[in-house]
Structure 1
Amino acid sequence: MNTPVAYRQTSAMAIISLVAGLLGWSLLPVIGSVVAIVTGHLARAEIRRRPEALDGDGLAIAGLVLGYLMVAMAIIGLLFVFLFFGGLLAFIAAAS
């Protein structure tokens, strides 16, 4: 006889994490990345609590990776700007 197949539902938090991670690279760089990181961690915890009912760990990980990469690139970019303009100001002050 046929036994019912148990389908696992994709976690909504995992989907939000992936979408926010993609938005972090396009329209909402800071906000999207922070939302992707927070919801990614929430989704992974939710999936670990109910692994028989929820799926989407890969989506959550993708959102986390996109979010963390964007935050890292923003920090590196800010450091570069501060170091460049700080060095430029020091050069101008020494040349005067």
Structure 2
Amino acid sequence: MNAPIRQTSPLAIVSLVAGILGWTLLPVLGSVVAVVCGHLARAEIRRSPQTLEGDGLALAGLILGYLALALMVLAIVAIFLFFGGLAAVIALSGH
């Protein structure tokens, strides 16, 4: 019997590439695209598992995208805490 040929989902490939770009050249845009395309790809693959593959690629893109976004949020919080603390120290010192 001939097994049907399964194609890799283009959205899964885009998700992985965007996830890598999210860590290198396009931090915010690449991460958001990786997350959106990763979810779309996984849904697409679940709807037609006989013709599409690439769930691992989509999952890797999702992980890279979410990790980059989480680190960006943590960095922004750390910056606000640092400068907020710095402003409080200056205000309390009387200058």
Matches of 1:84 and 1:54 in 2, distance apart? Answer: 48
Aligned pairs for 1:7-86 within 5 A:
7-86=5-84
Identity %: 63
Which structure 1 residue ranges, 4+ long, deviate > 3 Å from structure 2?
A: none
Unaligned runs of 5+ in 1: none
Could you tell me how far 1:5 is from its partner in structure 2? 3.1
Amino acid at match of 1:57: D
Deviations 1:44-76 (A, max 9, x none): 000000000000000000000000000000000
Take 2:50 and 2:4, find their aligned partners in 1: how far apart are those partners? 9
Structure 2: unaligned runs, 5 residues or longer? none
The alignment of Structure 1 onto Structure 2 pairs a total of residues equal to 94
> TM-score, normalized by length of structure 2?
0.97
Q: Distance in 2 between matches of 1:83 and 1:17?
A: 33
**How much has 1:4 moved relative to structure 2?**
2.5
- Provide the aligned C-alpha RMSD in A: 0.6
Tell me how far apart the structure 2 counterparts of residues 59 and 44 of structure 1 sit (CA, whole Å). 9
Give 1:66's aligned amino acid.
L
